Structure 1
Amino acid sequence: MRIGIVHADITTLQVDAVVNAANSSLLGGGGVDGAIHRAGGPAILKACRELRATTLPDGLPRGQAVATTAGKLPARWVIHTVGPVYSRTEDRSAILASCYRECLRVAAELGAASVAFPAISTGVYGWPMASAAQIAVDTLRGDDSPVGKVLLVAFGDEAEACYLAALGR
């Protein structure tokens, strides 16, 4: 798997799948979640409501992933995952790593060759960017997924610098 960094708006990327740093309700929110729902249009929310009405009545558990249509996005699918809220007193890094592994698993099941990841849990969930970037890179490098290309989407300069450091560049 090739891992690249792109300084971009994830909703504009032409990849097979974009990852949504969702909340467990899957019904939209702020940050990346809100941007994906707004740019993708009502088809994404409709698909999420269907999941809630059928297979995920209690919402999506942290560390898991599920796919929906991408609606109007240039991507084919959105893979929703719910990251952990950062805690100084409890190590939740395994849950964050699970988000990346589960997204790759779902992407492989879809036949996706390229996936774009935001910095999961670094927004309102408060995960320090440098730590999140290292967990992302270590997890992606340690996975034997058939996905050929992964883009780590840096929304700002700090994220880009942290991804570069995690990749050893």
Structure 2
Amino acid sequence: MRRTLLLLALLAFGAPPALAQQQQTPPGGRLGTGLPVPRYVSLKTDRVNLREGPSKDHRTAWVFQRAGLPVEIVAEYETWRRIRDSEGTEGWVLHSLLSGRRTALVMPWAKGEVPPIPLREAPSDRSGTVAQLQPGVIANIKSCDGAWCRVVIVMERARDVDGYIQQDKLWGVYPNEKVE
């Protein structure tokens, strides 16, 4: 009863940061790295099992098959990370299958016929276009200033393309986030 009242008070008046973090700790468990949650990372390999819970005893709900795919860590439990993909699918993966390398998807929410998205020479709509990108392309993030991101698109049979794209056209970086 006392714990319930404490939680209600915390919800009503806001919790001090340390106590708010403590309330997120899973029963009988501990938080993971202490890094900010949520945060974006990418898949390290081209085969990552998404599990229903934080252990190998839990059923595999999905298998990701795209190395470099950006995902958002929304919770941590020991060596497990609860992740969400660009479509909203959530589940648990082992931390060793994730990379801190920042990547983003170009407009994964775009459906149907969408004009190509310009990759610019400089962070300006008036700058020249170095490439035209389709929705769903993975971009390696080099930096973001809160409005524009400098990215590299890895090409399989051609040289990589380096340029700038408006930050709001990417999934894998938060609005106004600065990445260095």
Higher-Rg member (1/2): 2
Greater share of residues in strand: 2
State the structure with bigger RCO (CA 8 A, min sep 6), 1 or 2: 1
So what's the TM-score if we normalise by structure 1? 0.25
TM-score (normalised: structure 2) = 0.24
Whichever structure has more helix as a proportion of its residues is 1
